[in-house]
Amino acid sequence: MIHLYAFTDAGAPLPAATGIGGGELAAVLIEDVAAVVGPLQGPAMERDDAIAHGLVVEALREVADAVLPVRFAERFADRSALADAVTGRLDTLRERLARVRGCVEFGVRMVAEREPAKQQPTAHDGSAYMRERLASLARVNVVAAELHRPLTRCARASVVTPGADHAAAYLVRNEERAAFERALAGFVSAHPAATVLCTGPWAPYSFAEAT
Amino acid sequence: MSVLERPQLEPEVTLVELVDRVLNKGVVLTGDITLSVAGVDLVYVGLRLLLASASTFDRLQQEEAA
């Protein structure tokens, strides 16, 4: 069995890392695309295996210019089974490698400041309560836009995901990373009561499939 | 990154974000995988705790500063 970690350009360096179970990494070339694989004993379904997968992908990101992470749990009987699965998708993979080349991903989650809790609504002013709720949601949306808009200006692409008041992944060119971090810091100083979590740089997981 | 400067939370955040990406994102070739990964539920519980503790941390910091 072989386990598939990521795709990169043929000829890209491999990181000095080992994969699941300490397995050595190898590149399987399918035309101009390299599939980064490692050996697999058994089903590899433990949390530590998922973490090992992620660490290989991040180590690859540090040495290769274009990396398409593969979702955990793609495994194949042998190299020719892998090539069969990849061949029909080469054009798509090339396109996506081009899109993420020279870029990293940042994840951002934000929880806006909440208005102080109002008293429980009584039955007769239910509509007033709903109006308040809607107004509060609208305020949160404004704050989310104040975070999202400047970040998108420093990003090649972005994906907004459900979660928190704003949760998104941003695809950021290496040259734009400083500007991205400045935009984030700008939001934080303008909204000191909001909680912002930014993680990265990551390999561009959120931009590996069609978005 | 100046925004998340909470060294004591950082390893936990990083782990949760890593596992979330590995399991839910990335290229899908076979597309019909039903994932059941031992131990991952614990990681997601960790995420909820983390968001709660992050805002609590902020509040405590503000109270200290006041």
State the SS3 of A170-204. Answer: EEEEHHHHHHHHHHHHHHHHHCCCCEEEEEEEECC
Which among A22, A28, A26 is positioned nearest to A49, based on CA atoms? A22
Interface contact flag, B26 A70, Cβ < 8 Å: yes
CA distance A125 to A117: 16
Interface test mutation site (partner A, options B23, B25, B58, max chain A beta carbons within 10 A): B25
Judged by average pLDDT, the poorest of A14-18, A48-52, A76-80, A102-106 is A48-52
Amino acid identity of residue A129, one-letter, is Y
Tell me how many domains chain B contains.
1
Q: Considering Cα of A30, then A32, then A38, then A43, what sign does the dihedral take?
A: negative
pLDDT for res A33 = 97
The most confident of the ranges A125-129, A203-207, B40-44, B48-52 is A203-207
With CB atoms and an 8 Å threshold, state whether A202 touches B2. no
* Buried-exposed string A17-56: b where 16+ CB fall within 10 A, e elsewhere: bebbeebebebbebeebbbbbbebeeebeebebbbbbbbb
Q: Is residue B42 part of a domain?
A: yes
pLDDT at B50: 42
- A148: contact with B, CB 8 A cutoff: no
- Residue B2, domain member (yes or no): no
Quick check: A164 pLDDT over 50? yes
pLDDT for res A138: 87
Angle ∠(A59,A50,B16) on CA atoms, nearest 5: 85
Burial of A99 (0-12, 13-18, 19+ CB in 10 A): middle
In this complex, is the C-beta atom of A208 within 8 Å of any C-beta atom belonging to chain B?
A: yes
Comparing A114-118, A145-149, A164-168, the range with the smallest average pLDDT is A114-118
- Domain presence at residue B26: no
Structural domain contains residue B46 = yes
Q: Which residues of A touch B42 (CB under 8 A)?
A: 47
Average pLDDT, chain A: 90
Distance of CA B8 to the CA centre of its chain: 13
Q: Which of A4, A10, A12 is nearest to A60 (CA)?
A: A12
Residues of B in contact with A46 (CB under 8 A): 37-39
User: What element of type H or E holds B58?
Assistant: helix B40-65
Q: Is residue B6 part of a domain?
A: no
| Among candidates B2, B14, B19 on the partner chain, residue whose Cβ is nearest the Cβ of A50 | B19
What range defines the domain where residue B55 resides? 37-66
Looking at residue A209, its pLDDT comes to 86
Mutate to test the interface with B, among A8, A79, A197 (most CBs of B within 10 A): A197
Residue B30 belongs to a domain: no
Model pLDDT, residue B5: 47
Predicted-complex ipTM score: 0.82
Identify whether B43 is part of a domain: yes
**Residue (of A89, A94, A49, A58) closest to A204 by Cα position:** A58
Kindly indicate the confidence band of residue A47, based on its pLDDT and cuts at 50, 70 and 90: confident
Using an 8 Å CB-CB cutoff, list residues of chain B that contact chain A: 1-4, 13-15, 17-19, 21-30, 33, 35-40, 42-43, 51, 54-55, 58, 62
**Higher pLDDT residue, A120 or A68?**
A68
**Min CA distance, A184 vs chain B (Å)?**
7
User: Rounded to whole angstroms, how far apart are CA atoms A136 and A154?
Assistant: 29
Q: Between B19, B26, B35, which is nearest A69 by CB?
A: B26
- Domain presence at residue B7: no
- The stretches of A34-125 forming alpha helices (DSSP H) are 47-63, 79-87, 90-100
- Closest Cα in chain B to A7: B27
